[in-house]
Structure 1
Amino acid sequence: MNISQEKIDNLNTVVKINIAPADYQPKVEKAIKEHAKKAKMPGFRPGMVPAAHIKKMYGKSILVDEINNLLSDTLNKYLEEQQMEVLGQPLPKTEDDKKEYNWDFADDFEFNYEVGLAPDFDIDFSSKDKLTQYVIKVDDETLASRIKNIRRGYGKMTNPDVSADDDVLYSELTQLSPDGSVFEDGITNTASVRLDQIKDETIKKSLIGLKKGDEVTLDIQKAFDNDAAKVAGLLKIEEDTAADLKSNFRLTVKNVNRLEESDLNQEFFDKLFGEGNVTTEEGFREKITEELETMMLQDAERKLQNDIYNYSLNKVQFELPDDFLKRWLKATNEKLSAEELEGGYADFAKNLKWTLIANKIVKDNKIEIKYDEVFAYAKQSLDQQFRMYSQQSLPEEQLAQYTVQYLQEKENANKIFEEVKAVKVFDYIKSVITLDKKEILFTDFNKLED
């Protein structure tokens, strides 16, 4: 067997594999004998089918299988021995499909594979590289909004006579013609219209002060700022239809619903934080502020990681074998259209570049990812998920058992491993570059672009 390499450039090469009969005949003969031992055919006792008979009937298919196995093993071994860092997977050259072989167990075969190579590049992060690390502060507006939502979440529903700000109008929505009459065979649906979701202030004011049985004309697109998903949900129609909808609607109030805020009393505090843990309104506000600060710390970290990601892609410049990678993406997903490939390739290339940068940082700095770190990260992630549904945390032993079960799934284990690796890469970069801390109110932070 002869293996050679024809380098096209620094990012592309062609690996040529020449296979002679002596390379594959012993493997084929062995496979035929193994097949004969297991074959069940009329006129022959089990395991007694002559090998020559098997070769005559199935020889070519066995030969093809063995050639493919030999090619795969040979190519993988060669790439490993040559320490070639491959992107994607080697692709058979299309010219090889035109070659004709007899498949008579005496052919000399030649196969050529296109290989995309990872680029060589340097990473030189230092204290000269500077990024802003935001320290988010809870502003009065955000705190008040959070407290209001929590109190409403534990409040009770009432039905006032007249609608007010933040009420919900249980209404019948009927499509109207341009002249204001009911559109024949038009859209009609009964839905709950939340006043706090109305984007247009003038329309919102027109819905305040209504009582059961009142009717108003509603420009539904303007009311919800042309949010097709919201309009589709209210009218129970397809989102595409909602996006093109131009009609006004008659809103007929069937009922006014109001969610009264829970009183700030001990019963309310105990429901939220456990018996006796909070006893005053001041303590309640401190707890909610602490909760918000924890959430905002995560928001600030996500922002910093995203900034590091973009900064790294701009700083560390290198090329990819784009043409090869596009062919590989198409070969591995035949349903991918040319438009989808071109439209999504830029994001694919960015993520691949980041992966190469991260892997190099891990390798160059001998960063290790240990099982106990993966376990701890998975455990914390699961704990956060459970806390979304209950304020009470799971017992430590039960949470550990869930974590073990979760990591037994290979896909989950790989996902958590990659997340831990990403955290370590970000931590390394943060330890090398200069981070300028800057305090910012949460409302202002939300206005920042990613």
Structure 2
Amino acid sequence: MNITQENIDELNAKVTIEIEPSDYENSVKSILDGHRKKMTLQGFRPGKVPFGVAKKMYGKSVLAEELNRMLSEKLNSHIKDNELNIIGQPLPEDVEELELDFNKTFQFKYQLGIAPAFEIELTAKDKFNNFKINVDDELVDKYVKDFQRRHGNSTEVDKVGAEDLIYGTIHELGKDGKRKEGGHHNHTAIAIDYLENKDAKKKLIGLEKGAITKIEPAKLAKGDVDLSQMLGVPVSELETVAKEYELTINSINNIELHELNAELFDKVVGPGNAKTVEEFRTKISLDLENYLKGDTEKKLRRDIHDKLLERQKLNLPDEFIKRWLLEQGAQNPEKPISQEDIDREYADYSRMLKVQLIESQIAKQNDIKVEFTDIQARVKENIKAQFASFGQGEVEDSMLDQFAQNFLQKEEEVRKVYDQLLDERLTDYYKNAVKLQEKEVTFDEFVKLASTKAGKGKFMDQVSNLLKF
């Protein structure tokens, strides 16, 4: 078996593998002989079917399976032995139906996408804002009221009031003021008392069920993420949608706020964790601080990513990646990916991939790892915390081990814990490597700062984790 590599440029390579009869004939013969001994065929005693008959019946399928196995092993060992940092998976070239012949030398060609080689340097000379969101009484008031609303009683009414919830359908409008052919439409909910634009709020109050009115969604939303959810459009596509939409009010609900009592406290913060309104507010404030700390850390990482992307100016094998994405989409008929999807969203996907490359390099340079024992320990911590949230006491070790073992059988869940631990360790590295300037902001100020046009679209939701640390 012979394998050669032709480097087209720094980011693309072609690998050719030749498999001769001497490479596969013994293994194929051995497999066919095993089939022959198990065959039962009329006219022959069990296990005594002639080899030629077995070869005629199963020979080509066995040869195809052996060729696939040998190709996979040889290609993977070539990538590993030569320490090739590839993107995606090798793509076969000149794919056509194989003419299977036991005396033939087979030649296979593959395209490889190669990740760029680079080094990362972060020092105290790199300065970033480390935001701290001020959890003030006003913010706690909002969350307390939100919890009262969520657990309150809902009554359908005929006219929109100042604290009602509208359920409606929105349609994108064209320049002529009519529904745009092929435009976006979505079912959405609008909480009147959350609206900050006074004119937009005033326009909706007093409307009746079944009413149709024009709205500007951007005036109803708090930032791009909120607007994306309202319209049902990826954040990356918001610039392409119309300014005006038509809103049809399907129903109006008035929410009677839940009383601030022990029943609400137990539902929100867990049984017995708050007995008074003051304790309830304190618990919400602490939970908010912890939750919002995660958001500020994400913002810090994104700011660092932006800086490193600007500095590194990484190039990717773009055409290879686009072809790989298209082929990945073809293998998922339930959620197919078209060339149009790729062209529209490739800029965002390319950024995401470059960030993965950068963080992979940072982890490599600084020996940042997540071991399986780390995952086991975190899973057990999470299980203990879950039991505690239900008011349970200490969990017996045998029960804890059993729960953890069951959880660790789920590959997707294990990957989530791995990603969480890796994110934490990378964040710790960033905080120690750069100079942080503490900056206190309100929640609304932070929402505006964190709002971004970059987002996940159709194929970006499907394709991720191309690179492993």
TM-score by length of 1: 0.75
Offset of residue 278 of structure 1: 5.1
Quickly say closer, same or farther: Cα 1:92–1:258, change in 2 above 3 A. Answer: closer
Q: Partners of 1:158 and 1:284 in 2: how far apart?
A: 27
The answer (yes or no) to whether the contact 2:407–2:413 under 8 Å persists in 1 is: yes
In the TM superposition, residue 24 of structure 1 has moved relative to its aligned partner by 1.6
* Amino acid of the structure 2 residue aligned with 1:330: L
Q: Could you give the per-residue CA deviations for residues 137-190 of structure 1, whole angstroms, max 9, x where no partner exists?
A: 123332222233344556667999x996425799xxxxxxxxxxxxxxxxxxxx
* Aligned counterpart, 1:123: 120
Matched, 1:52 2:52: yes
Gaps of 5+ in 2: 168-188, 221-226, 233-242, 331-335, 453-469
Return the offset for 1:267. 7.4
Per the alignment, residue 133 of structure 1 pairs with 130
Measure the CA separation in 2 of the matches of 1:276 and 1:337: 53
Where 1:97 maps in the other structure, the secondary structure is: coil
Pair 1:285–1:13, CA change in 2 (3 A):
closer
Is it true that 1:40 corresponds to 2:65 in the alignment?
A: no
In 1, the alpha carbon distance for the partners of 2:272 and 2:420 equals 38
Contact 2:215-2:244 within 8 A present in 1 as well = no
Identify if the C-alpha distance between structure 1 residues 163 and 260 changes in structure 2 by more than 3 Å, giving closer, same or farther: farther
Residue in structure 2 matching 1:300, options 296, 304, 318: 296
Q: Where do 1:284-323 residues align within 5 Å? A: 284-323=280-319
Aligned to 2:25: 25
Residues 112-141 of structure 1: per-residue CA shift (max 9 Å, x gap): 222222211111111111111101112333
Offset from partner CA, 1:382-415 (integer Å, 9 cap, x none): 677x59xx96455442666544321221222123
- Give the Cα separation in 2 of the matches to 1:274 and 1:109: 66
- Please provide the CA RMSD for this pair: 4.1
What is the correspondence of 1:204-215 to structure 2 with a 5 Å cutoff? 204-206=204-206
Residues 72-221 of structure 1 correspond to what in structure 2 (within 5 A)? 72-94=72-94, 97=96, 103-152=100-149, 165-166=162-163, 196=193, 200-206=200-206, 218-221=211-214
Offset at residue 299 of structure 1 (A): 2.3
Distance 1:15 1:158 in 2: 67
Q: Which amino acid aligns with 2:163?
A: D
Please name the residue that 1:173 is paired with: none
Structure 2 CA distance, aligned partners of 1:147 and 1:430? 33
> 2:106 is matched by which residue type in structure 1?
F
Structure of higher CA gyration radius: 1
Per-residue deviation, 1:437: 0.8
1:251-400 equivalences in 2 (<5 Å)? 259-260=256-257, 262=259, 281-334=277-330, 335-379=336-380, 392-397=390-395
- In the other structure, the counterpart of 1:10 is 10
Deviations 1:270-329 (A, max 9, x none): 776678865655444433322332232222222223323333333333211111122222
- In the comparison of the two structures, how many residue pairs are matched? 403
Which range is displaced more, 271-280 or 19-28?
271-280
Q: Deviations over 1:337-364 (max 9, x none)?
A: 2111212322332222222222222222
Alignment-derived partner of residue 180 in structure 2: none
Distance in structure 2 (CA, Å) of the matches to 1:391 and 1:319: 47
SS at match of 2:344: helix
Instruction: Give the deviation of 1:219 after TM superposition.
Output: 4.2
User: 3-state SS of the aligned residue for 2:359?
Assistant: helix
Aligned to 1:437: 438
One-letter amino acid of the counterpart of residue 366, structure 2 = N
Bigger Cα displacement from structure 2, 276-285 vs 298-307 = 276-285
**In the aligned structure 1, how far is the partner of 2:75 from the partner of 2:427?**
35
The 1-side partners of 2:268 and 2:22 are apart by: 77
Distance change >3 Å, CA 259–CA 342, structure 1 → 2 = same
Query: Per the alignment, in what secondary structure is the counterpart of residue 444 of structure 1?
Result: helix
Deviates more, 1:127-136 or 1:408-417: 408-417
Task: Structure 1: give runs of 5+ residues left out of the alignment.
Answer: 171-191, 208-214, 233-242
- Measured in 2, the distance between the counterparts of 1:58 and 1:4 equals 31
Q: Distance in 2 between matches of 1:365 and 1:381?
A: 27
Whole-angstrom CA distance in 2 between matches of 1:169 and 1:321: 48
1:238 aligned partner: none
User: 1:188: which partner in 2?
Assistant: none
Q: Which residue of 2 aligns with 1:240?
A: none
- Distance in 2 (CA, whole Å) between partners of 1:250 and 1:78 is 61
Would the alpha carbon gap of residues 140 and 319 (structure 1) be closer, same or farther in structure 2, given more than 3 Å must change? Answer: same
Q: Provide the rounded CA distance (Å) in 1 between the counterparts of 2:415 and 2:160.
A: 53
User: One-letter code of the match for 1:30?
Assistant: S
Give the match for residue 186 of structure 1. Answer: none
Task: Give, in whole Å, the separation in 1 of the partners of 2:127 and 2:292.
Answer: 22
